[in-house]
Each structure stands twice: as C-alpha cells, then as structure tokens.
Amino acid sequence: MPAGDGPTTTVTDGPVDGAVPTVAAETATVDAATVEAALVTPMVRRRTGRVIAGVSGGVADHLGVDVLWVRAVFTALAGLGGAGVLAYGLLWIFMPQAPADTAPIETSPRERQQALGLAAVGAGLAIASGVLGGTAGAWITGPLGVALVGAAVVWREADESQRRRLLRTGAGSVLGQGPVGLVRILAGVVLVGGGLAIFLLGNVNLGQLQFALLAVGAALVGVAVITVPWWLKLMRDLGAERSARIRTQEREEIAAHLHDSVLQTLALIQKQADAPREVRRLARGQERELRNWLYDPKGYGRAGSPSQAGQTLATALASAAAEVEDTYAVSVQSVVVGDSSLDPQLAALVQAAREAMVNAAKHAGIAEVSLYVEVEADEVHVFVRDRGAGFDPDAVSPDRHGLADSIHGRMERNGGSVRLRTAPGEGTEVQLQMPRRTPADAGAEQVGT
C-alpha cells in the first residue's frame, strides 16, 4: 500500500487508534457539507460550530465549499479598506439563523483556533489598511472600529437570546436573559456609544452647529445599529406568527366544518338506523355536501351553496338535482359537459329539467335518475332519464299539468323544444333542447371547468 493513501483505507483497519477518529470526523463534516449543498440549502447562519456569528459557516454550507476558504476570503477582503468586515456585518444582518432543530456541527479545536486567528488577522488588516491607506484616517478607523466591536457584541447576544427562547419555546423577552446577557448588552452599548463619542470628540474643531448635528446623527446611528437585531427579529417573528395563525385558523375551520356536518350526520344516522330510506337520504346529502366542500368550486355536478346558486348553468342544475335528491330520496347521477352563464332562457331550461327529474322520482319507482347536460356553441341539450316504469304518453289524462305546463309550455315559450321517449316498462327519457342566445360572447365567457 503506498504511503499517503486516502483516509478511508486507514479507517478500515483499526490499530492506529489515535488518528482514526479525527480522520473520520473530517470526512463526516465534508460529507455533511456536500450533502447539504446538493440539496441547495438556503443561506442561513450556523447555530453551532461558529466563531463569531456563523456567517462563514452558513456561506460555506450554501456554496458547498470548505469553511476555511470562506474565512480566508473574508480576511483577505478585510485588508481592502475593511470591505470584508463590512460584508460580514451586512450578511450577519440579512442572513437568518438556522432553525433550532438543525443537527449540531462538530468542530475540532484546531479549526476553531484557525478561525480565531483568521478573525484577528482580518481585524488587524482592516485597521492597518485604514491607517495606511489614509482613506478614512486613523481617527476614524479607531473609534468606529470600537463602535463596530460593540455592535458585534450586542448582535451576538441577540442571537443567543433568540436561541434560548427557541429552546424554551416560550415567549421570552427580546432582551437578553439573566445577568450575563444584560452585561453583554450593556458592554456592547457602551462600546458603541464610546466609539461614537470618541469619533465626535475628534471633530471638536467643527463649529457649534455642525457639532450638534453630527452628535445627533451619531446618536441615531448608534441606536439604529444596536437595535438592528430586534427590528429584524420583530419582522421575522411577525411573519412566523402570521403563518402559524393562518395554519391554526385553517385547522379550526376544518374541525368546525367536520363537526357541523359529518359528525352530526353520523349521529343522525345512528339514531335512524332502522329507517333505511332516511339513512340513505342523510348519507347522500352529506356526501354531496362534503364533496362540494372538498373539491374545487368549479368542478362537476356541484351543488352550489344557497348563496351562490344560480350563477352558472352547471351550479343551477346541480342545486336543482340536489333538491330533488333531498325531497324524493332518489340519487341523481349528473354529468355536465361545458358550462355557460345563466340567462332567462337557460333558467327556464333548468326549471324544466327539475320538473322532469321530479316526475322521474315520483312516478318511475326507481332509485336513480340520470341527468346529462351538454353545452354546445349554439345550443344546450339536457337529458333526464330513468329506467323505471315508463308510461303511455297518449294515455296521460289531460288534467295532469306537470308535463304539459311545466315542461312543454315552459320550453316552447322560451324557444326550446322537448322530445319524449317512453313506453310502459321501458323507462322514460325527456330530452330538452334550448338555443343559446348569444353563442359568440357566451361561449368566450365561461366554458369548461
């Protein structure tokens, strides 16, 4: 075996005890990083295995590269007039923290040392470049640097308190908890305030007015910098709280609906167990209602709720069918192809179709009626069919008005026509046809599902 072979071969045979765990740990972290990268993780700051705020770790997880490289880049950028420090600060503000349930990331002490060293080098480079470059002058780099460190301390404490709050899952205060948190925040505030004060004192040679303006401006900047974490947290919490509230509302609505409808019906069915006709009626009504509620409001055979009934031909027919089902304890199997907005002619068609269904339910002596509706470009066809007793149309006594008035009369008054196919024992089919008044614009309006 050649020397310096891949680490995997050393892992398989165990005798070299000391080296094995670290090697394994290293490969494990690399694996975790690549796996996470493969899933295109969102940019989030690490909670564990971090040195300052977990920004570098988060960026590395997101890009799928080693953390060391990211840290090196930030350090190098810090040498360019403090750009790395600025970038780090901005990312700190805008990257959310990883969720609390993320698996902890192991870091070796060596890696921590490296990271701390790089952070120190970065800070040094930023200060040095400020001093040497003369872009801002040492008198700015110094006090503002102090202010930045203060801001960092405050922000970090905000992160910590947020994590503790999430761990307890209770609503804690925005401020840090316990004396340690308070001390940290106070230290941060003092650093920020002190830095800004020194910065101002460096400018005493300014006029009174300018000095006052600058002081007010600096105070505002200080307050803004210190409160950034809370503003951000407030916004995020608001979003999280809103989505949680929406979820709860939805769940409550579903529970309420099931209680009002399904559970009540089941209770009724148990009470009426010895009346099969009534049980069937209840079950059918409940099924229709639940279907109606579950599926998309523009689907087929839909019983429109009373408030919106009659909006389109399909919903009007569906509610007519539902009414017949409920009143006469038959089931209406309805198939609707196409749809159209309702005009007076089509409303008359719906009435006639309803009458035909009622006739079938009352006289045919069967449990099922078929309703088929097809909306074409220039006319609408409705077929109401049963496989029941049938009758002889010529033998219907003239004092029976249902068919003559409600169907024939109504259709003819509105320009439609009726055909009847029936014979004793053969079932009955009523065929209704109604022209559409304005096929062009009605067709463009509401066709299909």
Partner 1 sequence: MTAPEEPRAPRTGPVTVFLVDDHALFRTGVRAELDNAGAAGVRRVTVIGEAGSVNEAVVGITHHKPDVVLLDVHMPDGGGAEVLRRARLTDPDVVFLALSVSDAAEDVIAVIRAGARGYVTKTISGRDLVAAVCRVADGDAVFSPRLAGFVLDAFADRPGAAPISDPELDLLTPRERDVLRLLARGYAYKEIAAELFISIKTVETHVSSVLRKTQLSNRYELSRWAADRRLV
> For binding to partner 1 (CB under 8 A), which residues are involved?
291, 295-296, 299-301, 331, 333, 335-338, 370, 372, 374, 377, 383, 385, 429, 443-444, 447-449
Identify which of 23, 1, 2, 3 has the alpha carbon closest to the alpha carbon of residue 11.
Answer: 23
Question: Which CB atom, from 53 or from 373, has the smaller least distance to partner 1?
Answer: 373
Identify the three-state secondary structure at position 125. helix
Question: Which CB atom, from 221 or from 366, has the smaller least distance to partner 1?
Answer: 366
Shortest CB 311 distance to partner 1, Å: 19
Question: Which CB atom, from 438 or from 449, has the smaller least distance to partner 1?
Answer: 449
Shortest CB 352 distance to partner 1, Å: 17
Alpha carbons within 13 angstroms on the beta-carbon side of residue 134 total 0
Shortest CB 428 distance to partner 1, Å: 12
Question: Which CB atom, from 112 or from 298, has the smaller least distance to partner 1?
Answer: 298
> In 3-state terms, the chain is what percent helix, strand and coil (to 5)?
65, 10, 30
Question: Which CB atom, from 58 or from 301, has the smaller least distance to partner 1?
Answer: 301
Distances (CA, A) of 258 to 252, 282, 286, 294, 306: 10, 15, 11, 11, 19
Question: Which CB atom, from 86 or from 283, has the smaller least distance to partner 1?
Answer: 283
Shortest CB 267 distance to partner 1, Å: 20
Question: Which CB atom, from 45 or from 385, has the smaller least distance to partner 1?
Answer: 385
Shortest CB 370 distance to partner 1, Å: 3
Shortest CB 333 distance to partner 1, Å: 6
Q: What's the maximum distance between 2 C-alpha atoms anywhere in the chain? A: 117
Shortest CB 340 distance to partner 1, Å: 12
Rounded CA separation 418/412 (Å): 8
Question: Which CB atom, from 52 or from 332, has the smaller least distance to partner 1?
Answer: 332
Shortest CB 287 distance to partner 1, Å: 8
Identify which of 233, 95, 217, 216 has the alpha carbon closest to the alpha carbon of residue 174.
Answer: 233
What amino acid occupies position 42?
Answer: P
Distances (CA, A) of 249 to 54, 95, 238, 243: 36, 30, 16, 10
Query: Can you say whether the dihedral through the CA atoms of 158, 164, 167, 171 is positive or negative?
Result: negative
* Dihedral angle, C-alpha 172, 173, 175, 178, nearest 10 °: -60
Identify the three-state secondary structure at position 175. coil
Enter the tokens of residue 225: 């910098």
- Give me the numbers of helices (H) and strands (E) for the chain, helices first please: 16, 5
Shortest CB 362 distance to partner 1, Å: 19
Contact 304, 315 (CB under 8 A): yes
Question: Which CB atom, from 338 or from 402, has the smaller least distance to partner 1?
Answer: 338
